[in-house]
Amino acid sequence: MFLDPAGADPEHVPDAGRFVGLPPAGDFTLAARVRVEFASMYDAGVLLLHARERHWAKLCFEYSPQLRPTAVTVVTKGISDDCNSFEVDGDTLWLRITRSGAAWAFHASTDGSWWRLLRYFALEGDPAELVRVGFLAQSPTGEGCAAAFDHISFQPGAPKNLRDGSLWGAQANHGSLSSHARRMGHRLDGTFGLRGGIGGLGCTGSTTSRSPNPSR
């Protein structure tokens, strides 16, 4: 899923297999640890915001053009605004989406305790409470990409300070996100599977997400 600022075919809107749903009203934080089997450029595991066609945003753990695992954000409002943030040693990264009023925040963490703010933005014209949230795997240049999501956590409310790197702003506990989520009672222990691509989307009872060859 990517609409090139240099010019995109107006008749072709790239898409990818995804698993999304409409969250409850109000502020919230969705976080997960993702492990990606990188093989080809732009392979990624993703937390996704999807408002409508040509209006969406991705928080990605992606294989860069330099073939390095990288935290990447893409905000699309007609065209895509793409930003590579930092490289990661290894195949695992924590990702976090926060809704705070009409605004959204993307964070990433290498340990689930200290979080880097990567993006703070709004999807203008799309009420935040109508934006769907979920998971995606992509492999636009390869034969397919497997991304496994675990330690999935959904918490009502937003951190008091989105920029200080903590779990929960002034109320942060500096243990792992998974232990914090268990104490808060919002750890999601169920599993899901997503297999998407050009031929469609299928769900299974697995935490592994595999995309045969969807568009970036």
- For residue 115, the domain's CATH number is 2.60.120.200
Asked if the structure places residue 8 within a domain, the reply is no
- CA-to-CA dists, residue 136 to 26, 104, 121, 142, angstroms: 23, 18, 20, 16
Give the pLDDT confidence score for residue 125 in this predicted structure: 80
Domains held by the chain: number: 1
Say what percent of the chain tops pLDDT 90: 41
Establish if 112 belongs to a structural domain.
Answer: yes
* Pick from 3-7, 70-74, 79-83, 115-119: least confident: 3-7
Please give the Cα distance from 99 to 92 (Å, whole number). Answer: 24
Note whether residue 2 is domain-resident.
no
Give the pairing type, strands 55-63 and 44-52.
antiparallel
- 3-state SS class at 171: helix
**Domain housing 52:** 20-162+187-211
CB 29 within 8 A of CB 143: no
Question: What is the arithmetic mean of pLDDT over 36-47?
Answer: 93
- What's residue 10's pLDDT? 57
Predicted model pTM: 0.79
Q: Going by C-beta distance under 8 Å and a sequence separation of 6 or more, which residues neighbour residue 108?
A: 59, 61, 71, 85, 86, 93, 94, 95, 96, 115, 116, 118
Instruction: Determine, yes or no, domain membership for 169.
Output: no
Q: What is the pLDDT of residue 144?
A: 84
| Residue 101 DSSP class | T
pLDDT band for position 207 (cuts 50, 70, 90): very low
Does residue 144 sit within a domain?
Answer: yes
Q: Residue 170 falls within a domain, yes or no?
A: no
Residue-wise pLDDT tens digits, 174-183 = 333 333 333 3
Q: Which of 116, 144, 149 minimizes the C-alpha distance to 31? A: 149
Q: Which pLDDT belongs to residue 33?
A: 94
- 177 by DSSP, 3-state: which? helix
Q: What was the pLDDT predicted at 20?
A: 83
Beta-sheet pairing, 208-211 with 193-197: parallel
Using only C-alpha atoms, what is the Rg of the chain?
Answer: 16
pLDDT of residue 193: 45
pLDDT band at 161 (very low <50, low <70, confident <90, very high): confident
User: If you average pLDDT over every residue of the chain, what do you get?
Assistant: 77
Among the residue ranges 30-34, 92-96, 125-129, 136-140, the one predicted with the least confidence is 125-129
Confidence check: pLDDT of 5 > 80: no
Residue 175 lies in a domain: no
Structural domain contains residue 182: no
- CB atoms < 10 A from the CB of 87, how many? 11
Helix and strand totals (H; E) in the chain? 1, 14
Contact 215, 138 (CB under 8 A): yes
The predicted structure's pLDDT at residue 54: 81
Q: What is the mean pLDDT of residues 113-119?
A: 94
Contact 29, 157 (CB under 8 A): yes
